[in-house]
Amino acid sequence: MGRKYAVLGVGHVGSTVAFALVTKGDADELVLIDKDEKKARAEQLDLQDATARLETRPKIKVQDYHELKDTDILFVTAGNILALKNQTGNNRWAEFNDTREIVKDIAPKIKASGFHGVMIVTMNPCDAIAQYLQKEIGLPQSQVMATGTFLDTARMQRVVAEQFYVDPKNVTGYVYGEHGNSQFIAWSTVKVNGLDLLPLAKKKNLPLSKLEEHVKAGGWDVYAGKGYTSYAIATCAIKLSRAVLDDAHLMCPCSYYNQKYDSYVGQPAIIGKNGVEEVVDVPLTAEEKAKLANSASTIKEKFATL
């Protein structure tokens, strides 16, 4: 059988995901759903026109929740980016009221469709919304994840790489916690070219607190310049989907349920054919453990208001 994807919400992120799936040849079938039917059909036509110049020709369908029944991967990318317009900080909870109402609308439709694949959520605030969707739809927790701090970790890799003049892929380590203000870089896990960062940073007299500020502000900097973010978050979502369909057992951070904190929170996990196969308990310092507990508590408190 071919690989079947669906994108629910074809705004900036959703349309970027769809474009990448089609141009990379990942999708054999693609379903696009949006509250704006005209927009969904326009994206369908635009992508179909592109296939005349591509090596593959996926079947692209629109506005049919019934198609989700045999869909392998469902990207939930709906939202209201305009809710951030008057924000002066990196506060993804500003979208909370809008995305909460979106979930109330789409969750019963997803459940009624019989969807039983893996769901990847990019809606903000993604940790709470992923947990909300999981509870409303009734899918196993392993099959519902959010991109979470996968994107923030990529931003950390870029910022650190710039300081040491290396490829970002040569920087490893994790950003934990909320995809938002209470996130933190677990500096004890970060390595550059396989070497522990902390002694390297001390030698270069690098102020880690300032580097962390740059990482946290990364999304806001992009938003301030173009009014939204799209490429990096779409790339992260697709990377997770490929790990599922390839049964890659890829170790990377994502937002997933942490039983200890009774909350979805960004943490390293193994991603395979069943979604989140297991959470990896990477050793952290006492200070980092406290920051993770605080971040999870922040998410849990906000989630309770749903």
Q: What is the mean pLDDT, run by run of 10 residues, along the chain of 306 residues? A: 93 98 97 97 98 95 98 94 57 76 96 98 94 97 98 98 98 97 96 98 95 91 91 98 98 97 98 98 98 96 84
pLDDT on residue 95: 78
CATH code: domain of residue 10: 3.40.50.720
Beta bridge partners of 57: none
Q: Which amino acid is at 107?
A: A
**115 and 154 belong to one structural domain:** no
**17 and 156 belong to one structural domain:** no
**94 and 109 belong to one structural domain:** yes
Q: How far apart are CA 116 and CA 144, in angstroms?
A: 10
Closest CA to 130 of 267, 289, 224: 267
Residue 118 known to bind ligand: no
**136 and 201 belong to one structural domain:** no
- Entry field: residues in the chain: 306
CATH code: domain of residue 196: 3.90.110.10
Residue 89 known to bind ligand: no
Residue 12 known to bind ligand: yes
**168 and 298 belong to one structural domain:** yes
Give long-range contacts, CB 8 A cutoff, 24+ apart: 206-209.
206/163
Which one of 116, 179, 214, 249 is the catalytic residue?
A: 179
**80 and 226 belong to one structural domain:** no
pLDDT on residue 299: 95
pLDDT on residue 303: 87
**121 and 257 belong to one structural domain:** no
The last residue of one of the domains, among 94, 123, 146, is 146
Q: Which residues contact 229 (CB under 8 A, 6 or more apart)?
A: 12, 13, 219, 222, 223
**218 and 142 belong to one structural domain:** no
**134 and 185 belong to one structural domain:** no
pTM of the model: 0.95
Residue 79 known to bind ligand: no
**167 and 188 belong to one structural domain:** yes
Domain residues for 269? 149-304
* 179 catalytic residue (yes or no): yes
**73 and 95 belong to one structural domain:** yes
The domain tally of the chain equals 2
Residue 34 known to bind ligand: yes
**211 and 127 belong to one structural domain:** no
Residue 167 known to bind ligand: no
The last residue of one of the domains, among 146, 171, 189, is 146
Q: Which two tokens stand for residue 87?
A: 């924000």
The last residue of one of the domains, among 117, 146, 175, is 146
